[in-house]
Each structure stands twice: as structure tokens, then as C-alpha cells.
A and B are shown apart, each in its own frame.
Chain A
Amino acid sequence: MRSMQFSMPKACAALCLVLSAFSGSLAEPILGDQQAAGVRALLPPRDVQAMDTPRDGGLSLTIRWQPPSGEEAGLLGYRIYRADSPNWEFRLVGQVDRNTMEYQNIPNDSIKVQMGKEYYYKVAAYDSLGEAMSEAVGPVKSRPTWFDIHRLPILVAIVLFFGSVLVFFRITKRGKGLFIRRIAGIAAMEEAVGRATELGRPVLYVPGIMDVDNIQTIASMVILVDVAKLAAQYDVPIIVPLNRAFVVPMAEESVRQGFLNAGRPDSYDPDNVRYLSDEQFAFTAGVNGIMVREKTAAHFFLGAFFAESLILSEMGFSTGAIQIAGTANIHQLPFFVVACDYTLIGEEFYAATAYISKDPQLLGPLKGADFMKVVIMALLVVGSLLELFGVHWLTGLLTLS
């Protein structure tokens, strides 16, 4: 293919000259001596560089270049060639359009990169008539990156977070009390279960509609232990409808543990932990049916919720039940605030376990999160002021990409 680049134009040029001689007029040369006719020959790309792709797994190389000097109206794009040695045949690796000045030879290309092996690259600008190839650049070899330096700010934040958790952990272990403000929704949990007991009707606990790999579901399972304990103490049934099959054994274990903690393991009824459906609105219809038929008197909506939140809470309101909701899905908070008696907003929901148990070990992470909030607020204020005065180093430092 390379040899044809130089023989075709010359042959065509010769043909044109012969034709022009017969016609008696000087035909416009199509190829070959284009400069004499005012048509520029396609030039190769400039400043071709090949390098190891930064911050990758070690199986990729990056090739960059500048467009050919001067105007290249007919330029269609660039082709990237590779060889193991500058004297060997170069094989086509990839092709990009004329506006792209970079190519990554990645593991999923048909011609792969082997880690640690040396390669040479050429880049050719091409148009409808042919190619103009650059000189070979190299050798270049790929190396894996063991640490992504651009993510250092996150690592610093995590270390700071861990550190603050440890500090507060040690403070609480020494017996020094830490202040936590009163959260009305958590304080009302016992009141809600008590009211269900007065009415002689069950408690309903919905742990959200996400699976066990969602942190809100896990947090809800932890709170369920305490709510189940309250229900056992007050001798009132607790119904737990579930949207995900995998949560069933966790919920069963949590409720059983709650009854055990209350000293009433015999009162535990496994039939009250019910998987309804994976489908969001089928589950919602099922929970609505439970509310209406079994006349539940206290509702706990604690976990990850989506569009069904208003349907559940409005239906619950219409039954006259006392309702406590908590979620970190901020788009559903307005619906819960409107329809429920108490709402735990975002981190209040996560703080519930520490708040209920008052366990010093659980208070440490809670105060650690509070400390990080102070740090973030300070960064926001300082960063905003710096930006106001045109100083961007802090923003640059905290930008990941």
C-alpha cells in the first residue's frame, strides 16, 4: 500500500501531460506536480508523540500529534500504524476523523498492547487521494500505574475521616459523653409503637425498595432490630413487607434478633416477614393492601424509596396511622415531609442506630462525619473567597479530572 502512494500520482501525472499534449491545451494536473498547479500536496502530521497512557492499568499507549502545517481542505482524517521495530512493516491500528489529534491503543483494539513491550508508531494524514506518513516515533512501552495521583485528595479526605472517627472513638471510650441533638423522628419511634399497642393493631415496617447492596437497606436492617425489640416489648405484631428477595433472610434475622433482645423469642412470627414482589408498583399495591386490610397503626418507611413514596405515605395517612419516614433519597423527601408525621432527612436516617443505642462505638463515626462536614464547610468558604479573587489553586487541587 505504501509503494502505491508514490507510483499512482506519478503515473496519473504522466497520463495528464500526454493528454494535454494531444489536446493542445494544458490540462490541470490532478496529482504529482501539484505545487506547480497551485494545489498543495498533503503533508504529514507534525509533532507526533507516543507515550504510556497515564493513570491506566498498563495495557494502553497514547499517540498525539498536531495537524499538518497549512490548510488541508481535503484532509479526511488520520490513520495510526504500529510496528515492533522501525524497520518492520507497520500495521494499521486505528483511524480517527480530522478533528481528533489523539489516539489510544487500548486492550480492546484488534491489535493489542502487551505490557512492557516496545513499540513504534507512525501517523498518516489521509485524504481521498492518498496518505502522508510521519516519521516513526518510539520506542514506547506501557507500564501500569500503581497509584492514581489525581485521586490523592480523596485519599486525604478518607484518611482524615478515619482519623477523626478514631479520635472520637477514643474520646467516647474514655467515658466522655458526646452531645447529639434531639431528632424528633427517632424519639417518636417508641411513641408510634406505643400507639399501635393502644389500638391493638400491628406495626408496619418498610425497609425501602433497594437490594442488600445498598447502604440504606443495611442501615434500615439495623434500625429494624430496635423497632422489632420495641414491638416485642409492647407485644404488638410487626409486619415487614419486602421488595427484594435477598433481603428476606436479613429481615428475618433482624426481627428475630429484636425479639430475642426483648426476651420474647417465642413471639416472633416468621410469616410477618413477607416478600411481595420485585416490581416497584406491584410491591406498592401489596403494601397498600396490607395497610388497608390489616389496619396497621404505625408505619415506618426507612430506607431507599423512589416514586412509590407518596403513594405509600398518602395511603398510610388515609388510614390514620402515625408515620415515621427516613431516606437519603433526597428527591423523595418532600413527599415524606408532606405526608408523614416525622421525617428523618438524609444523614439523620444513618444516625438513627447510634442515637437509639447510645453505644459509644457507634457515636464515634457519627461525630467523625460531623467533623468532616465542618472541614467541607471551611473548604467551601475558603474556596469561594479564593475564586472571588481569581485564585484557582484550591479548585484545581480538588478537581479530579
Chain B
Amino acid sequence: MADDKQSWLNRMANLDKRWVFLCILLAVGFPLFFPIGLPMRPSQPVKDFYEVLQALPDGSMILLSGDYDPGTKAELYPQNVAILQQACKKHMKVVAIALWPTGPPMLERAFNEVAVGQYGYKYGVDYVNLGFKEGREAVMVEMGRSIRHAFPRDFYGTPISQIPLMDKVENYNSFPVLIDISAGYPGTKEFVQYTQGRFNITLLSAAPAVSVPEFSAYYQSRQISGMLTGIAGGAEYEALIGHPALSARAMDGISFGHLVIILFILLGNVFHFLGKRTSA
């Protein structure tokens, strides 16, 4: 009997990970079909992100860097959409660049969905997608001297001299704020290291949750003025702008997923300790 109990406890303590996968699948998948809509309380980094943009005068021009790929689309594309929602509500002009080759199509999709689809923005007048430029940190520094020199053509190959919005663009000084949607390298960390202090720009970051611990030091020292922290940050931001969308829908799944993980941690320790006591 004691041996059976010991064996059962050992089996539970060393549970086949496929059972864990199944529980996660159910916890995350169930709310997608049966949304609950749990209320969100915005955290300080997200509030700062929102307020920096909100404080800008209507019609301001902002610089948006879309540095992510399909792998991080689930986390960062909803943030991209939400950022454009807030910008378009304030009739801001948006100049978009990318330091990842997969960035421009992501940006274009977001522009089509929000700026063009909902707010009737015109390309070249209200927004422009300058596309991808290889060079990483070198491009970041070059933009401090001349964005026109770093991006002589837009995503579609049009010379920027033919784009009306670009008449007002010189370098970082032409923008009150730079927003970086950053999935990894090059991204927010490189903007902090190579441009934020050197060119004295206000930098906002939309990052996946895994990058938040790393960027927290820069946020704490105010080198990053505001931060969207993964899907949770995206959901909080959507609540602030009054437009709950993809991130908010995903938050229910994340909430249950976190609870399942916490439950497994507790259960794992319970079985572990019970097993030790029984064998002793």
C-alpha cells in the first residue's frame, strides 16, 4: 500500500509533460471561444506610454520603428494596432521605418487596418512607410544626422523627395517621440545605447514580455519614457485608449494560463514533499 502510494506520488511529481501541455492548451484556448472580459488595471510603464503620446499636440508627427517578425506577431501586432489607434485619434502623422526585414509588411498591414481602414489616412500625406534598411546600429546613428539619407526611398521604391510628408523630416529632431516596436536585436536596447542619450530623443518601447526584465533598468532610469509590456501591457494600453481588441481578448487566456502554471508549481512541490515524507 505504502509502495503504491509512493509510486503514485513519484509519478505525479514526475508527471509526463504532455499532461501539462494539455492543461495549458485548455486554459489558454477555452477563453478564446468563451471570452470573460476580466477588467485590467494599467501598470505605470503602460500609463507613461499612453500619457507621453496623449500629451503631444494633435497633428504631431511621430517616428515609428517596426522591428518584429511573424514569430512575435501575436504579441506585438496588437500593440502596433493600438499605437496607431491612439495616434490616428489625435490625427498624428506617422513616419514608419524598420530595422528588421520582416517589419515593413507588418507595419503596412497595421496601417491598412487602422490608419486607412478606420481613419481614411492618405499615404504620403498622413503616413509613410520607409521600409527596411540593413545596417542596424549604423542606420540608427545615421538617422540622427539624416533620415532622408538613411532612407532615400520608401517601401514601394518611391524617392522620398516625391513624398509630401517627408518635406518636414530631417532627423530625430523632426519628431517629438520615437516609438520602437521591438522583438529583439536590433531594437530598443540598441536605440537606448546608440541614440537616446546621443540625440536626446524621447523613446517609447513596445516589447514582448520576455524583454521587459531587461528593459526595466532603462525604464527606471528614464532612458525609456514608457513601455508596453507584452500582451498584458497591450491589453492595459487598449483599455486606456478605450479600444479593447486582440490583446484584451488574449488576456483571459493568459490569466488562466498563469493560474495553471502557479497551480502546477504548487502541486509539484506538494507531491515532492509528500513523496519525501512517505519515503522517509
Q: Check if B214 sits within 8 Å of A400, measured CB to CB.
A: no
Q: Which of A108, A307, A331 contacts B145 (CB 8 A)?
A: A108
Q: How many A-B residue pairs have CB under 8 A?
A: 36
Contact partners of A318 in chain B: CB under 8 A: 17
Question: What's the Cα separation between A106 and B172 when bound, in Å?
Answer: 13
B34: min CB distance to chain A, Å:
29
Question: What's the Cα separation between A104 and B146 when bound, in Å?
Answer: 13
A54: min CB distance to chain B, Å:
13
B-binding residues in A (CB < 8 A): 104, 106-109, 210, 280-281, 304, 306-307, 318, 330-331, 400-401
Q: Check if A306 sits within 8 Å of B185, measured CB to CB.
A: yes
Contact partners of A281 in chain B: CB under 8 A: 71
Q: Check if A401 sits within 8 Å of B200, measured CB to CB.
A: yes
Question: What's the Cα separation between A106 and B148 when bound, in Å?
Answer: 13
Q: Which of A106, A107, A306, A401 contacts B184 (CB 8 A)?
A: A306
Measured CB to CB, the nearest residue on chain B to A304 is B185
Given A306-B185, A318-B17: A108 touches B148 (CB 8 Å cut-off): yes
**Given A106-B171, A108-B148, 8 additional A-B pairs, CB 8 A:** A107-B145, A108-B170, A108-B171, A280-B69, A281-B71, A330-B214, A331-B210, A401-B197
Contact partners of A108 in chain B: CB under 8 A: 145-146, 148-149, 170-171
A to B CB contacts below 8 Å, 28 in the list: A104-B173, A106-B145, A106-B170, A107-B145, A108-B145, A108-B148, A108-B170, A108-B171, A109-B170, A210-B185, A280-B69, A280-B71, A281-B71, A304-B185, A307-B71, A307-B72, A307-B184, A307-B208, A307-B210, A318-B17, A330-B214, A331-B210, A331-B211, A331-B213, A331-B214, A400-B197, A401-B197, A401-B200
A399: min CB distance to chain B, Å:
9
* B198: Cβ under 8 A from any A Cβ: yes
B145: min CB distance to chain A, Å:
7
Question: What's the Cα separation between A104 and B197 when bound, in Å?
Answer: 18
Q: Which of A109, A280, A401 contacts B198 (CB 8 A)?
A: A401
Contact partners of B17 in chain A: CB under 8 A: 318
Measured CB to CB, the nearest residue on chain A to B214 is A331
Binary interface encoding of chain B residues 121-159 relative to chain A, with 1 for a CB under 8 A from any of its CBs, else 0: 000000000000000000000000110110000000000
